[in-house]
Amino acid sequence: MNPDLFLADLERKPEVLHRLADSITAGAFAWPVDPGPATITMMGMGSSLYAAQVVARRLRTGGVIAVAESGSAEATFPGGEHDLVVGISAGGTSIETNRLFASSAAARRIALTNVAGSSITSNATAVIEMLAEPEVGGVACRSYVHTLVALLALERALLGDDGELAGTVHRAAAAGQALLDGRDDWLQPTIDLLAGPDGTWMLAPLERQSSAMQSALMFREGPRRAAVGCETGDWSHVDVYLTTTLDYRALVFTGSRWDDQAVEWLTRRGSTFVAVGGDRAGAARSVRYSGDDDPVIALLTETLVAELVAAALWSRSADR
């Protein structure tokens, strides 16, 4: 793991996403799901699980029986000939996911991985490649977003959505490039606001909870700073208490119907927070980007804010 190479991976996000969008137009992410499965179980660890949880929820709201399962579970839905299991591992070597995937009895077992021929593929009836290219910094950043895109392609295949996914991915790539191009204006002030002595908290709508979890992971994995991800509505029930005792710093990914409730508590308690994707009264700063009012664009883009902050903090700690 290397902070400079991690930053290089982040800076290539838009380029590789644009290439992915072109690949989708050419037929990539064509999931073999005809006939449609009776149930879907997605399994993974870390970033893979975060992405699966979001898309499983989207599938359920569309009427598909879908769950996301931690790869470390002792057992999962037993499955059968009409069910689908998706094993997700960017490197393909997650021992927890590989074990659970291999033990699954569904007739269709599809591996979603960034490494062709990796060990998870040996137990698969089909393989979908993430096309995120090698992440030379050693951190799953592009592969996380590509996992989301691949699972969104699965969602569209199952629900018959005729929306243009490739176009959405191109717009997300452009949004990410805008954040990178404008970082001289927003990055350093955001670092100063979020890098508190007691840690950083990330809030996101339930429908994009993966953004909070992935962002917190980036703070822990690179710069090794205390960080916690939470769903915005639940935050007022489980995390709000710490605002009375800590120098509380939060990154709020906006768009939840419960934003106002959380912001009221943060403001009342004198906490410091940065809003991403929308302007909120009381925010010390807002970070905006093109398309941030589109929930899918936000899902594919907003973690770049936290990743760039984490990269800068990591580089500073490595220089000491």
Query: Once rounded to an integer, what is the mean pLDDT over residues 14-20?
Result: 98
Q: What is the pLDDT of residue 209?
A: 98
Residue 320: is its pLDDT beyond 70?
Answer: no
Give residue 106's pLDDT. 83
Would you identify the CATH topology of the domain 183-319?
Rossmann fold (3.40.50)
The domain spans of the chain are 3-169, 183-319
Common-topology check for domains 3-169 and 183-319? yes
* Residue 175's pLDDT band (cuts 50, 70, 90): very high
Q: Please state the three-class secondary structure of the chain as a single string.
A: CCHHHHHHHHHCHHHHHHHHHHHHHCCCCCCCCCCCCCCEEEEECCHHHHHHHHHHHHHHHCCCCEEEEECCCCCCCCCCCCCEEEEEECCCCCHHHHHHHHHCCCCEEEEEECCCCCHHHHHCCEEEECCCCCCCCCCCCHHHHHHHHHHHHHHHHHHCCCCCHHHHHHHHHHHHHHHHHCHHHHHHHHHHHHCCCCCEEEEECHHHHHHHHHHHHHHHHCCCCCEEEEEHHHHHHHCHHHHHCCCCEEEEECCCCCHHHHHHHHHHCCCEEEEECCCCCCCCEEECCCCCCCHHHHHHHCHHHHHHHHHHHHHHHHHC
pLDDT averaged over every residue in the chain: 96
* Predicted TM-score (pTM) of this structure: 0.97
Model confidence band, residue 79 (pLDDT cutoffs 50, 70, 90): confident
For position 319, what pLDDT does the model report? 64
Per residue in 41-70, pLDDT (tens digit) is 999 999 999 999 999 999 999 999 999 999
Look at strands 200-204 and 40-44 and give their pairing. unpaired
pLDDT mean over 276-294: 97
Question: Residues 138-169: pLDDT tens digits?
Answer: 999 999 999 999 999 999 999 987 679 999 99
Fold of the CATH domain 3-169? Rossmann fold (3.40.50)
Q: What is the mean pLDDT of residues 289-314?
A: 97
Percent of the chain with pLDDT over 90: 95
Q: Average of pLDDT values for 90-111?
A: 94
